[in-house]
Amino acid sequence: MLYLFIKAAISGLIIAIASEVARRSPALGALVIALPTATILAMIWLWRDTGDTLQVAALTQGTLFYVFATLPFFLIVPWLLRSGWGFWAALGVGSVVTVIAYLAMTALLARLGYRI
């Protein structure tokens, strides 16, 4: 249980730092967030927990494929916000589109024979 708390605290601290940086400089905050910190942390925790390089490789490959499904979110949300939509509505629409893109990517990968 202590180990889970430590993982959560370290992961949360990185997100908190990124949000503080973004408050002071949106461009620098975007750079910090664009870094694959969550993926790197997940890889570290998975390796630490399992020592299984194949699981780490599968996680990394799956992340690569799903990054493509995430891209529409980063196009739609700023466009909606600049078009006068409220924050929560734009975030909701972006999230729904992202879920649909994830489902489409999963179906496409299955058709191509990839298992994620």
Distance CA 66, CA 12 (A): 22
Per the listing, tokens 């949360």 go with 12
Query: How does residue 116 score in pLDDT terms, banded at 50, 70 and 90?
Result: low
User: What would the pLDDT profile of 75-85 be if each residue is shown by its tens digit?
Assistant: 999 999 999 99
User: What would the pLDDT profile of 47-105 be if each residue is shown by its tens digit?
Assistant: 999 999 999 999 998 888 888 999 999 999 999 999 999 999 999 999 999 999 999 99
CB atoms within 10 A of CB 11: 15
Quick one: pLDDT at residue 82? Answer: 98
Average pLDDT over residues 8-29: 86
Q: What's the Cα-to-Cα distance from 88 to each of 4, 18, 45, rounded to whole Å?
A: 31, 21, 32
